[in-house]
Structure 1
Amino acid sequence: MMREVFQAERGKAPEIVAAFKTLTSVFEEAGYTNLRIYVDYAGPMDTVVCQWEFDSLDQYFAMERQAFVNPDENTQAMIDAMNNNAKSGYKEIYEVIQ
């Protein structure tokens, strides 16, 4: 399971959420499942978390590399939204046990 956590600039979380929403169909086509987008309820304000599952890390890294080689319009919009609206971000990778 992959989780990407972004700390948005103050008041910019909606832009990051909107960017993730543009990739929903791309993630589904890639075979990713259980896509969820979360925003903060407690803790640091303007935090956005996008979480999904996939079959293998190789599958994920192949798609990510391809996306950055020649990004389509939606992917480029997401990249721009992250670069323009996020202060920081990181990834968490988990093995799903149950």
Structure 2
Amino acid sequence: MPLHHPLPDSMSLQQVYEYAALLDAHPNVIATLAGHAHTAAVSTFAGRPLLVAPGVTWTLRLPWESDRLADLDAPPALAYHILDDDRNLVTHYRVVR
């Protein structure tokens, strides 16, 4: 299930419980894919993987990396998802040079 904003960020989904109920009603959904966080992240939500795509223009710094919020010099990156016939999901994160 693709989302524009990831669930764990400060702009989180307003109807998070409704989204969890929707996922529970559809066991065929394997994972939630999200972006717009400007940093790669992996978590779980409603018992399924929550995979957040990395930034394609700039990257958010983690709190211990710098006083500056954004790394404007970070190269773009992508998430490449592979779903096999047995419904196993593998995600590769790569920097684009």
Same-fold call, TM cutoff 0.5: no
**Higher strand content, 1 or 2:** 2
TM-score (norm 1): 0.23
